[in-house]
Copies of this chain bind each other. A is one copy, B any other.
Amino acid sequence: MAIRAAVAGASGYAGGELLRLLLAHPEVEIGTLTGNSNAGQPLAGLQPHLLPLAGRVLEPTTAEALAGHDVVFLALPHGQSAAVAEQLGDQVLVVDCGADFRLEDAADWEKFYGSPHAGTWPYGLPELPGARAALEGGKRIAVPGCYPTAVSLALFPAYAAGLLEPEAVIVAASGTSGAGKAPKPHLLGSEVMGSMSPYGVGGGHRHTPEMIQNLSAAAGERVSVSFTPTLAPMPRGILATCSAKARPGVTGESLRAAYDKALRDEPFVTLLPEGQWPSTAAVYGSNAALLQVAHDEAAGRALVISAIDNLTKGTAGGAVQSMNIALGLPEELGLSTIGVAP
């Protein structure tokens, strides 16, 4: 008996990636697809890479359209999920790819998003300590942001092992799909090809409190985060360069051992062999996160680099992985660690 899944926001990049993965999921049957400005249009022109769904027509995003499914994925602009979720009832599994239910601290939410806090749902980053238990059998999942996914996977093992000082410095490069499909001048191909540029510098990016929340939980103390996102000339991928001062006595070996231990049984997070570095190309379209660590003795810092596909592990893949856990399915079902390269 198939799991019937609806996707709200099926014309965007997150929605398209959800559909790409759900089409490959052996237990899922794709039900209603909704859009807002694109309601009434066939998917053919909106997601031309999803040939098997070319004939599907988007419905408006309403509770009626989304009723009658086992799972509803929300890929809506931030702040729009709460109202929809409320009408869906508590028997349906709701997986929110937006930010609405990620933050525990209402003050953080209000400071960074400027609207009342809607609440906190189980957090869909299964690799974090305790996360799987919180997801199992539940009916609500808050899918993490793409940057917090890359950064939390990179640093939680070291913080959980007590190896780092609680001040992380992170610079991450993201492909342009992270900025969404709404056309804006600075996202034009003419502007982004051949160009690297930063944004949200100085602590202003909305994903910062989410990183602090995750790393602080792993560390058992408040971790400060200096986060600088940059826009890179590629459609997909995040490369996160994460560092913090190493605590006294930490060595390259102890660092590596902590990651070995923490990640040994993780199906989607891989510490690469020594000498090999992550690249976003290697995770293109895959649910894998690739990590490598180094200890810079001269600077006294631990460096951790992670690479993910922002749309897969960073959004839709993480969502499906968490759905699998919530529904009691094998966690890896329908997901792959194989990238499309070159």
**A positions within 8 Å CB-CB of B:** 13, 16, 20, 23-24, 44-45, 47-52, 54, 167, 169, 171, 173, 175-177, 179, 181, 183-185, 187-199, 201-203, 208, 224-226, 228, 230, 232-237, 239, 241, 243, 270, 272-273, 276-286, 288, 290, 292, 294-301, 303, 305, 307, 336-342
Check A303 against B202 for contact (C-beta < 8 Å).
yes
Q: Please list the 4 inter-chain residue pairs (A to B) with the smallest Cβ-Cβ separation, ordered nearest first.
A: A202-B294, A49-B339, A195-B281, A189-B192
Residues of B close to A296: CB separation below 8 A: 202-203, 226
Contact of A279 among B24, B197, B203 (CB under 8 A): B197
Residues of B close to A270: CB separation below 8 A: 51
| Chain B nearest CB, measured from A80 CB (Å) | 20
Check B197 against A49 for contact (C-beta < 8 Å).
no
Taking A23-B338, A52-B338 as known contacts, 8 extra A-B pairs with beta carbons closer than 8 A to each other, sorted by chain A number, are A24-B336, A44-B276, A48-B279, A179-B190, A193-B235, A197-B278, A198-B277, A199-B277
Q: A49 to B288: give the CA distance in the assembly, Å.
A: 9
Check B185 against A183 for contact (C-beta < 8 Å).
yes
Check A232 against B235 for contact (C-beta < 8 Å).
no
Check A20 against B338 for contact (C-beta < 8 Å).
yes
Which of A192, A208, A243 has the most chain B CB atoms inside 10 A of its CB? Answer: A192
Q: A169-B243, A341-B49 are in contact. Are A278 and B198 (CB under 8 A)?
A: yes
Which of A169, A286, A290 has the most chain B CB atoms inside 10 A of its CB? Answer: A169
| Chain B nearest CB, measured from A119 CB (Å) | 24
| Chain B nearest CB, measured from A95 CB (Å) | 21
| Chain B nearest CB, measured from A224 CB (Å) | 5
Q: A234 to B284: give the CA distance in the assembly, Å.
A: 14
Chain B residue, CB-CB nearest to A199 = B277
Q: A176 to B228: give the CA distance in the assembly, Å.
A: 22
Assembly of this chain: how many copies?
A: 4
Q: A342 to B278: give the CA distance in the assembly, Å.
A: 21
Chain B residue, CB-CB nearest to A295 = B202
Check A280 against B173 for contact (C-beta < 8 Å).
no
Residues of B close to A228: CB separation below 8 A: 171, 241, 243, 303, 305
Residues of B close to A176: CB separation below 8 A: 188-190, 193
Q: A167 to B243: give the CA distance in the assembly, Å.
A: 13
Check A283 against B234 for contact (C-beta < 8 Å).
no
Q: A178 to B208: give the CA distance in the assembly, Å.
A: 32
Check B197 against A277 for contact (C-beta < 8 Å).
yes
| Chain B nearest CB, measured from A54 CB (Å) | 8
Task: Sample 17 A-B pairs with CB under 8 A, ordered by A number.
Answer: A24-B336, A44-B272, A44-B273, A48-B272, A48-B290, A49-B284, A50-B339, A51-B337, A52-B338, A189-B192, A190-B342, A191-B342, A194-B237, A202-B296, A203-B297, A228-B303, A235-B341
Which of A45, A195, A233 has the most chain B CB atoms inside 10 A of its CB? Answer: A195
Check A191 against B225 for contact (C-beta < 8 Å).
no
Residues of B close to A50: CB separation below 8 A: 338-339
| Chain B nearest CB, measured from A20 CB (Å) | 6
Check A183 against B181 for contact (C-beta < 8 Å).
no
Check B239 against A230 for contact (C-beta < 8 Å).
yes
Check A294 against B183 for contact (C-beta < 8 Å).
no
Residues of B close to A183: CB separation below 8 A: 183-185, 187-188
